[in-house]
């Protein structure tokens, strides 16, 4: 099984990113072949500072490697280091119906919000299709709200195959497990858009301050509480082992405790959970040449495969 996933370097990852996606991406890295790329070309639709984009791209590589991405199992590279991708994108764009792109949810959402629409945003799904198809990807892990991206890719590939023969492998989405709810500090879904997030590699003091400010209800300490409906307990459950979760749930149901007690336990559990990753990241950051070598080696591997697929597509359409 060939797996592909891309991550935009638009900022530092938070707990929601990790439990909702990154952890599950990394769990797939030992499949037959896995490609993970830093989608800096996609990020050009929102980031207008070249130095910031370069820094974000390195930071994203550091984050992924620190969190467990293993270059001996997975191919990690930067999207723009694969020049075959824009060329393949043009081949696909030449036969992609406008109507298909106009129906894409991300495009319609931006219009509905009155945000400025750039051409790159409108054609984003075609570049994304090139990213997927260039490596004969069979499986693309996505959230439930991103399945349309893979479906559009399949539509684009099927149209090309219909015109030129069986050139592209048709990928399938692998819907990520969203059972681990990750609420933000206000109880809503953790999101940078809401400003309610806690970064994975945030300074420990800053992390603890955010945890202590997590909103809770005003029920008296002695009143028993149902843990499963409490967002503070849901956050604690992400980091705690089964015994610790059972003990905390019993404390909730018995009553006679303060939320400060839970926040302290959450801070300790989160600190411990990411401690090894923080240490690995610090080591990697002190040896950026090694990180750049990993990205360079990954790009060489990715280019070899992308060149093979591009040659196949060019031969089919006569260029």
Q: Which domains does the chain show, CATH number per domain? A: 2-181+287-317 (3.40.50.620), 204-273 (1.10.240.10)
pLDDT tens for 47-98 read 999 999 999 999 999 999 999 999 999 999 999 999 999 999 999 999 999 9
**Catalytic annotation on 192?**
yes
Q: Residues 9, 38: contact at Cβ < 8 Å?
A: yes
pLDDT tens for 139-148 read 999 988 889 9
**Catalytic annotation on 174?**
no
From the list 2, 55, 108, 110, the catalytic residue is 110
From the list 2, 181, 189, 264, the catalytic residue is 189
Distance between CA atoms of 148 and 304, rounded to whole angstroms? 28
Q: Residues 204, 271: contact at Cβ < 8 Å?
A: yes
From the list 2, 192, 245, 314, the catalytic residue is 192
**Catalytic annotation on 172?**
no
Per-residue pLDDT for 306 more than 90? yes
pTM comes to 0.92
Distance between CA atoms of 113 and 207, rounded to whole angstroms? 32
Alpha-carbon distance values, 256 to 224, 259, 261, 265 (Å): 7, 10, 11, 16
């Amino acid at each position: 099984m060939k797996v592909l996933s891309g991550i935009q370097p638009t900022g530092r990852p938070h707990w929601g990113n990790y439990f909702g996606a990154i952890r599950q991406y990394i769990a797939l890295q030992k499949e037959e072949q896995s490609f993970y790329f830093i989608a800096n070309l996609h990020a050009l639709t929102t980031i207008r500072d070249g130095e910031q984009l370069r820094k974000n791209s390195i930071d994203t590589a550091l984050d992924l490697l620190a969190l467990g991405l293993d270059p001996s199992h997975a191919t990690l590279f930067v999207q723009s280091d694969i020049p075959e991708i824009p060329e393949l994108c043009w081949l696909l764009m030449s036969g992609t119906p406008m109507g298909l792109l106009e129906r894409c949810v991300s495009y319609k959402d931006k219009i509905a919000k009155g945000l400025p629409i750039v051409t790159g945003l409108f054609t984003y799904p075609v570049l994304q299709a090139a990213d997927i198809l260039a490596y004969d990807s069979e499986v693309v892990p996505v959230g439930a709200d991103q399945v349309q991206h893979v479906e559009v890719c399949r539509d684009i590939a099927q149209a090309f195959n219909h015109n030129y023969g069986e050139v592209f492998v048709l990928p399938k989405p692998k819907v990520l497990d969203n059972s681990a709810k990750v609420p933000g500090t206000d109880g809503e879904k953790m999101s940078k858009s809401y400003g309610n997030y806690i970064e994975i590699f945030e300074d420990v003091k800053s992390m603890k301050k955010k945890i202590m400010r997590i909103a809770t209800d005003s029920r008296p300490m002695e009143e028993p509480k149902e843990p499963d409906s409490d967002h503070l307990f849901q956050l604690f459950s992400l980091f705690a082992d089964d015994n610790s979760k059972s003990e905390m749930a019993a404390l909730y149901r018995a009553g006679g405790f303060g939320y400060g007690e839970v926040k302290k336990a959450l801070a300790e559990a989160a600190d411990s959970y990411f401690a090894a990753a923080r240490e690995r990241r610090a080591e990697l950051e002190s040896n950026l040449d090694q990180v750049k070598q990993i990205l360079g080696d990954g790009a060489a591997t990715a280019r070899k495969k992308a060149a093979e697929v591009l040659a196949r597509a060019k031969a089919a359409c006569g260029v």
